Amino acid sequence: MIHAVILVGGSGTRFWPLSREKMPKQLLRILGDRSMLAITVDRALAMVPENRIWAVTTVSQAGLIKRELDSQGFERVRVIEEPVGRNTAPAIGLAAMRILREDADGILAVMPADHHIQQPGSFVDILRSGEMLADKGYLVTLGIKPMRAETGYGYLCKGSRLDAPDMGDSSLAAYRVARFTEKPDEKTAEAYLHSGEYFWNSGIFMWRADRFVEAMKRYLPGHYEGLMEIDGLGVPPADPGRMQEIYAGFQPISVDYGIMEHAGRVAMIPADVGWSDVGSWASLREILDKDADGNVLVGDVLALECRDSIVYGRDRLVAVLGLEGLVVVDTPDALLICREDQSQHVRRIVERLREKGRAEAVTH
Amino acid sequence: MIHAVILVGGSGTRFWPLSREKMPKQLLRILGDRSMLAITVDRALAMVPENRIWAVTTVSQAGLIKRELDSQGFERVRVIEEPVGRNTAPAIGLAAMRILREDADGILAVMPADHHIQQPGSFVDILRSGEMLADKGYLVTLGIKPMRAETGYGYLCKGSRLDAPDMGDSSLAAYRVARFTEKPDEKTAEAYLHSGEYFWNSGIFMWRADRFVEAMKRYLPGHYEGLMEIDGLGVPPADPGRMQEIYAGFQPISVDYGIMEHAGRVAMIPADVGWSDVGSWASLREILDKDADGNVLVGDVLALECRDSIVYGRDRLVAVLGLEGLVVVDTPDALLICREDQSQHVRRIVERLREKGRAEAVTH
């Protein structure tokens, strides 16, 4: 059976001042009336019942995440708590072992809680195809056709097309992954964009839980041993201190780098689902409805002669005149104004605030 | 004796959101710790005692103005109330007649309350020279050497130099005014800038009160008649309703257009006093101290990679990243962000707000 594993990590630095240390971006209602986490649970519910949805997060954020799930009526979504964040490979390993305890044939559909998917219907179709491949032992990753020469993502290079038998009666194509590549430079990204052979690595995966644990044993044996010992502590762990000790001792490593780049039988399904990484204020302008001048205006905003700008107002009037390519985010205790093409540097502001011990970096 | 006549008019539209309908810009503390009005009174006090300083304002703003004067310890500054604003010619006429009631030889030094003067000492020297010319019956205006091809000001073209006898022992030069010109187009402004013959019309004047009333009688006879009738009502007017009726009936007209452009014996003193019109947010960047990147940052501001920008923070943290040539003004109920080169259009925002009946246009 499929289980949705939603990764709810990250410190929410890039969406400051809406996101704070104690308000991760997955809880923000920046894509509409509901949080990104709630929207992700909705997508998963189209495929699996609520009690087969698992949210993996850290102990420090678990309280917030549970409150949000409860408030949205998702009381049966289960929360797996990492003692500390150690990147995606340990987090998914922890979830895989937990799920294997009650479903030896479990197939995981792993997805971050902070992506936007414009066509959730197509997304479910693709996961159904992925299920068939995962069932045959493939480690499946969803590839996104590049829309621009993005230098901030890893890429997948597609290999030979998989035969129909592996795909059942799906009309979707799937490919072996010839190789994974790190974030490219601009020239290389440009070449990837035009080649038709390269796809963005979406961070959405499917695999059998047992196959994943097997791959961990082979490619990350230290992590595997630790997770086996943690599994032996039971649920909830009989000795939380020991669990904390083991988990905190893990080297942080991503599932791409730790497993996918080394494993055999890795497949990619090109996923034309209107996927967007919601990575910075700039990325929101791609996703949200814009006015005729390319502006996204939220709240009590009076805009004259503005173009290609994002203005997030809240309690107060925000009047903007002559802006171009700017991001404005207003909150009761802090205001951000930055150039859209620098919005990935907002974390530098947050770092400065943390250095200064400013409360505005932590909470609202 | 010299009397300082401070014109405290205007709706403060251009400094929104700090200025409001009920918070004219002359009361703003944007040049430092004190209001522009208080700084103007200070300048006048270098020349005349407090009870020979007159603030001319409208009935609707008189309460605010008096409160500000009192709070700054200027209880003896006298306030002349226009029933409604009718531009500078009627306002100065009203003051001239009021002052003539107690000083038949009075000389007026007329100055707006919203200018910045970097060298108040030199300013006093110039007014002393102006006093001598005014005493000889000249209508004196201070001319400012143009610093740029400004299209927003009127200009004075200097004529023949006045002889030493008229100037006493002053080392300062004075000239007849060959002519007044309206706001020029860009090409003309450029020519004026390089000619050395043209000066900005500062709006700072000196003349004998009786000479001014005489000039009004000749060039603005309707206004003169009305002001005479108002004068006949006494101080305070025996019939305020009648005063209101007469004054409201005046055609609004500036002293430049209504009198100076027509009168004889008009003199100009080039005034090298570091004068600035505080006309828009952009003009503040010329006046206030800038950091190495040309920014004026006031309040709790964290700026990264910003240039040539003005940020007025207040109660909240304002974080700015990558801005160039922008103006940011934060107040508790309204926030303005605009391009500096469009800051003279802030009034368009205020007009919109008034159309919508928004409180943010009126008060804080």
**pLDDT tens figures, A9-58:** 877 788 999 999 888 999 999 888 899 999 999 999 999 999 999 999 99
Kindly state the tokens that stand for B277: 């019109």
Query: A317 at the B interface (CB within 8 A)?
Result: yes
Q: Do A323 and B337 touch (CB under 8 A)?
A: yes
Give which of B16, B335, B340, B363 to mutate to test A binding, by max A Cβ within 10 Å.
B335
pLDDT of residue B165: 65
Q: What is the structure's pLDDT at B131? A: 94
Pick from B86-100, B243-257, B348-362: least confident:
B348-362
Output the CA torsion A286→A292→A294→A297 (10° steps): -90
B230-242 pLDDT per residue, tens:
999 999 999 999 9
DSSP for A157-214 reads: EEEEEPPHHHHTT-----EEEEEEE----HHHHHHHHHHSSEEEEEEEEEEEHHHHHH
pLDDT of residue B99: 98
Encode pLDDT of B303-331 as tens digits: 999 999 999 998 899 999 999 999 999 99
* List of chain A residues whose C-beta atoms are within 8 Å of the C-beta of residue B329: none
CA distance B165 to A320: 56
* Contact status of B332 with chain A (Cβ, < 8 Å): yes
Nearest-CB residue to A302 (from B321, B342, B349): B349
Cβ distance B328 to A337 less than 8 Å, yes or no, reads yes
Closest residue in A to B336 (Cα) is A319
- Cα A209 to Cα A106: distance, rounded to the nearest angstrom: 6
Residue that is written with structure tokens 């469009």 in the block: B342
CB A285 within 8 A of CB A273: no
The CATH label, of 3.20.20.80, 3.90.550.10, 3.40.50.300, 3.40.710.10, for the domain at A2-277 is: 3.90.550.10
DSSP assignment letter at A280:
S
Measured between beta carbons, the chain A residues lying within 8 angstroms of B326 are 326, 337
Residues of chain B above pLDDT 70, percent:
98
Residue whose entry in the numeric block shows the structure tokens 């706001």: B183
Provide the pLDDT for residue B82: 97
Q: Say if the Cβ atoms of B335 and A346 lie within 8 Å.
A: no
Cis peptide before A112 (omega within 30 of 0): no
CB pairs under 8 A between A and B: 114
Chain B, nearest residue to A334 by Cα: B317
A201: exposed, middle or buried (Cβ count in 10 Å: 0-12, 13-18, 19+): buried
- Quick one: what percent of chain A has pLDDT higher than 70? 98
Q: Is the bond leading into B221 cis (omega within 30 degrees of zero)? A: no
Mutate to test the interface with A, among B302, B309, B326 (most CBs of A within 10 A): B302
Q: Which of B313, B323, B335 sits opposite A317 (nearest CB)?
A: B335
Dist. CA B107–CA B94, nearest whole Å: 14
Q: What is the DSSP string of B24-73?
A: -GGG---SSSS-HHHHHHHHHHTTS-GGGEEEEEEHHHHHHHHHHHHHTT
Cβ A109 vs Cβ A249: under 8 Å: no
CA B302 to chain centre: 34
Which chain B residue lies closest to A326 (C-alpha atoms)? B323
Of B321, B342, B343, the CB nearest to A338: B321
Alpha carbon distance A131, B277 (integer Å): 72
Best residue in B317, B355, B358 for a mutation probing chain A (most A CBs within 10 Å): B317
Handedness of CA A59, A61, A66, A67 (dihedral sign): positive
Tokens of B21: 């309908």
Q: Which of A304, A334, A339 sits opposite B319 (nearest CB)?
A: A334
Q: Does B296 touch chain A (CB under 8 A)?
A: no
Residue A316 at interface with chain B, using a CB cutoff of 8 Å: yes
**H or E element, residue A252:** none
Nearest Cα to Cα of residue B270 among B189, B184, B170: B170
pLDDT, one tens digit per residue, over B274-285 is 999 888 888 888
Query: Cβ–Cβ of B338/A316 closer than 8 Å?
Result: no
Burial of B194 (0-12, 13-18, 19+ CB in 10 A): exposed
Distance (Å, rounded) from C-alpha A48 to C-alpha A50?
6
**CA-based nearest residue in chain B for residue A318:** B335
- In A, minimum Cα distance to B320 occurs at A337
Q: Enumerate the residues of chain B whose CB falls inside 8 A of the CB of residue A15.
A: none
Q: Sorting pLDDT into bands at 50, 70 and 90, what band is B169?
A: low
Determine the 3-state secondary structure of A331 from DSSP: coil
Burial class (CB in 10 A: 0-12, 13-18, 19+), A311: buried
Q: What are A5's two structure tokens?
A: 């594993």
Whether A140 and chain B come into contact, CB under 8 Å, resolves to no
Range(s) within chain A of domains with CATH label 3.90.550.10: 2-277
Calpha distance B319→A336 (Å, rounded)? 5
